[in-house]
Structure 1
Amino acid sequence: PYVIAGNDAEWNLNNGETGFDKETDNMLNAGLDVKYSLTSNLTLDLTVNTDFAQVEADDEKVNLTRYSLFYPEKRMFFQERSSIFSFSLGGAEQLFYSRRIGLSDEEPVPILGGARLTGRIGKLDMGLMNMQTGKKDDLVSENFGVLRFRRQVFNANSYVGAILTSRIGPDANSYSYGADGIFRVFGDDYLKLNVAQTTDIDGQNFTTSKDASFLSINWERRTQKGFAYDVSYTFLGEDFDPQMGFVRRTGVQGVMTRFQHGWIPGSESKLFNYNVSFFYAQSNRLENNGLEMKFYGPGISIRTKTGWNGRLGFSWYGQGVYEEFSLADDVFVPEGEYHYVGTRISMSTPFSKPVSSEFRIEAGEFYDGNNFTVTAEPKINLSASLQFTGYYNFNHVVFSSRNQEFNAHVGRLKVLYMYNTKFSASTYVQFNSVDKMAVSNFRLRYNPKEGNDFYLVYNEIRPTSGYFSEGVDKTNFLNRIIQLKYVHAFRL
């Protein structure tokens, strides 16, 4: 069980748009989490009034695309055994995306409770989850469910599976269902098949209709030495809408191919392996067969035995923009079809060293302009107790023909201090120049004895230069939360 107390202060623009009004909310809450082993291979988790106060803030990002950004799950309850619920739609896209539960526009929604059953029954891997969220502002209470099965077939590297998700509210019901399989055909060659369908908000659908369907066929040779390839076809219907999933775009079909030849030099070389590759991907809209996206180009990757990694790639892009979209204040990309060229170089140092880092540079054309991007991710382990992790991303975008340009800066600094097994503290500070905000997260954990945890959590969002419109009275904060949480765990 846990108990939590705190204060939430929020500053909102007033009706006259001349200043900000402060709203405060004092909280006192309690909840319960239960983990019960039904068998040695089957675990039941129960949660009541679920709380994630101690969860780290999401990473700040700048979106230079037409599509939604993907944010990984950071809440421990949903991270546990998450792989069993995975049903890939390609890349980061999933039929089940746990952040649909208890979050709306990145803001928390109360979770009244739920249950999760995961494990193995005979040769069958299974996962079952049901969660109920509460009302908040204009959001209604909803029920979220997911059922997932997987079974090994033919050999240790092959399986077939099925999934069913449901999202049920007072005015709308939505369901998604699918089947998938990975088959090791021979040697390092694998065949992957994924099919799925969704219903509309009334829970209605025609199983013979392809408009609400997803299909993916992939053939891949997985090897670092010699010739490797990855060829796939993907179809996403116009009405394919997984309400519990994450999909960037629908109404498209496309192909993706990657060909690679790799070498492992042997004991006399300083190189562990290296490869050359060529990648081609294209998707077109189902409505008119117009171009949605195209990307192709060669690349070379090198990895040394001491842990250094490097990659160089050249890319040719095609983008079919069917509706103008914004990148920043007064900076936009008009409707049209664009073709441009860019290059990318990346390098990482050995992660086993006390000081390590990753670097990326991208430069070239960008729609009808140009873009230059630099990213650095240093990591410093000063001791076994103190760790610094940094991130800095800079984008310079110029559209000379339209006299538009902007600079985007994103910075992150994470500090973790572990005095001993009982006491730890972490700070996560972020800055985003496009959103004109600075986000800070501080967490203090004290564990006086096994099963007892105290958390002190402080979160704040501050406006930065350029956030306020002319004539608006400024405020130092947009949001500030302080919470004290006690968790007591015991075995029955």
Structure 2
Amino acid sequence: LSPSGQQIPILGGVRLSGKIGNNNLGFLNIQTSRWDDIPGTNFTVLRLKRDIFQQSYFGMIFTQKTPATDSPINRVIGSDLTLSTSHFLGNQNVVFHTYYMKSLTGRHLPQNHSFRVFVDYPNDLFDNFFQYFEVGKNFNPEVGFVRRKDMRMFFGHIRFMPRPHLLNVRQLVFKIQGSYITDFNNILQSRFFEYRPLGFELHSGEEMEFNIQTDYERLDQPFNIFENISIPTGIYNMLRWEIQFSTNSSRPVSGELFWNWGEFYTGHSSELSLASQFRLNKYVSLSGDYRRTGANLAQGRFTTHEASARINVNFTTHLTTRLFVQWNNEDDEINFNFRLRWIPKLGSDVYLVYNTLQDTRLGRIRSKDHVLLLKFTYWMGM
């Protein structure tokens, strides 16, 4: 995609993936054509991974973006390690993971790295997770993206999930979760905590949870949240409440409810989300989602609506289709996506994808973009 979000034509590419013994290999190379003032560019990704022990691995990754002009080449190199076992303290699961990456674009710059380490303890009675994650202000992975730079984050959660053998309750869920984010000068940017005093799953498959959330946000720059409504700089402390409920998704008809409300920057907001799924038979399924957000701020009021629907038709296990439609009133656009997938043999795929974007502003529907894509994947055993 271009910086403005436009799709850039691809001249061609090649992808190779496979496994030999304990070694896994992935390779991707794509060449784009010139688009407006954006020169043709070559993208390369190389991924190596070696299985160690029974459930662990060590890996390396290399990416490169090579413009057709005299612009500097962007490279990223990194390594990662995962140590996992299901026999900790007898029969408990535990996972340790870490990675380190550095980027280089032209001359060397400090803080051009990303680092992450976590310990996960995902078990039936206790599910605990603790993580440290940092991204330097000059980390620049141009083959990919980074959501936030100049950041240090501590994150973790503790879940206690006893099975009370009471009435129709299969499992209770109590949780404490939090994140603490600073910049590299250790100035607090955001802090979020969520407490779950009540949550449960029934033997029938229904689930419910009630959460209390506290949120601290430091805004050094104002940002536009909807149309002409802007949130000013400052420090905001917000208290919010949340209820979630879902029915058994394996039933022919199932649904979900999400409701979150409370303080929101300079005022209050409420978010309501509804989702439903229908399995007409083993071949056809339908689903729909609707989300409404209403906010009353010192700078003004706004309401957003977002709706989507999916139709899945499985003619056979080797031939499937999917139609997805989405609309929201903020962009005033309808997105249609159709995908047909054919599996000629195990490991190989043929995709036919059609995507179109419709503008709904001014009370009428107007076509904006159309994309037709044909993709082949062929598996070769060695």
For Structure 1 versus Structure 2, the TM-score category normalised by the shorter chain is 0.7 to 0.9
Determine the structure 2 residue equivalent to 1:92: none
Equivalent residue for 1:172, pick from 68, 72, 93? 72
Return closer, same or farther for 1:489/1:349 CA change in 2, 3 Å cut-off: same
1:382 aligns with 2:304: no
1:147 aligns with 2:52: no
1:119 aligns with 2:22: no
Equivalent residue for 1:240, pick from 122, 127, 139? 139
Determine the structure 1 residue equivalent to 2:311: 415
SS of the residue corresponding to residue 37 of structure 2 reads: coil
* Counterpart code for 1:297: E
User: 1:419 offset after TM fit, Å?
Assistant: 5.6
User: 1:143 offset after TM fit, Å?
Assistant: 1.0
Determine the structure 2 residue equivalent to 1:440: 336
CA deviation map 1:51-82 (0-9, x unaligned): xxxxxxxxxxxxxxxxxxxxxxxxxxxxxxxx
Determine the structure 1 residue equivalent to 2:368: 479
Mapping of 1:27-38 within 5 angstroms? none
1:460–1:477 Cα contact (<8 Å) kept: no
Could you tell me which runs of 5 or more consecutive residues in structure 2 were left unpaired when the two chains were aligned: none
1:205 aligns with 2:104: no
Mapping of 1:40-189 within 5 angstroms? 105-153=4-52, 155-169=53-67, 170=69, 171-184=71-84, 186-187=88-89, 188-189=93-94
1:297 aligns with 2:194: yes
Return closer, same or farther for 1:112/1:482 CA change in 2, 3 Å cut-off: closer
Could you tell me which runs of 5 or more consecutive residues in structure 1 were left unpaired when the two chains were aligned: 1-101, 469-473
CA deviation map 1:75-131 (0-9, x unaligned): xxxxxxxxxxxxxxxxxxxxxxxxxxx676553322222222212233222212111
User: 1:253 offset after TM fit, Å?
Assistant: 0.9
Determine the structure 1 residue equivalent to 2:100: 195
Instruction: Give the TM-score, by structure 2 length.
Output: 0.86
CA deviation map 1:296-334 (0-9, x unaligned): 121143222322122221110001111111111111111
User: 1:480 offset after TM fit, Å?
Assistant: 5.2
SS of the residue corresponding to residue 199 of structure 1 reads: strand
User: 1:245 offset after TM fit, Å?
Assistant: 2.4
1:230 aligns with 2:126: no
1:458–1:480 Cα contact (<8 Å) kept: no
Equivalent residue for 2:114, pick from 210, 214, 231? 214
Report how many residues are paired: 372
Give the distance between the partners of 1:322 and 1:229, measured in 2 at CA: 33
Give the distance between the partners of 2:95 and 2:317, measured in 1 at CA: 44
User: 1:365 offset after TM fit, Å?
Assistant: 0.8
CA deviation map 1:355-382 (0-9, x unaligned): 1112211111111211100111211112
* More strand per residue: 2
Return closer, same or farther for 1:417/1:192 CA change in 2, 3 Å cut-off: closer
Worse-superposed segment, 436-445 or 292-301: 436-445
RMSD, aligned CA? 3.3
2:55–2:83 Cα contact (<8 Å) kept: yes
Return closer, same or farther for 1:408/1:183 CA change in 2, 3 Å cut-off: same
1:340 aligns with 2:243: no
Return closer, same or farther for 1:174/1:302 CA change in 2, 3 Å cut-off: same
Give the distance between the partners of 2:219 and 2:5, measured in 1 at CA: 27
Return closer, same or farther for 1:463/1:160 CA change in 2, 3 Å cut-off: same
Give the distance between the partners of 1:340 and 1:193, measured in 2 at CA: 33
2:357–2:370 Cα contact (<8 Å) kept: no
* Counterpart code for 1:194: Y
More RCO (CA 8 Å, sep 6+):
1
Determine the structure 2 residue equivalent to 1:279: 177
1:233–1:254 Cα contact (<8 Å) kept: yes
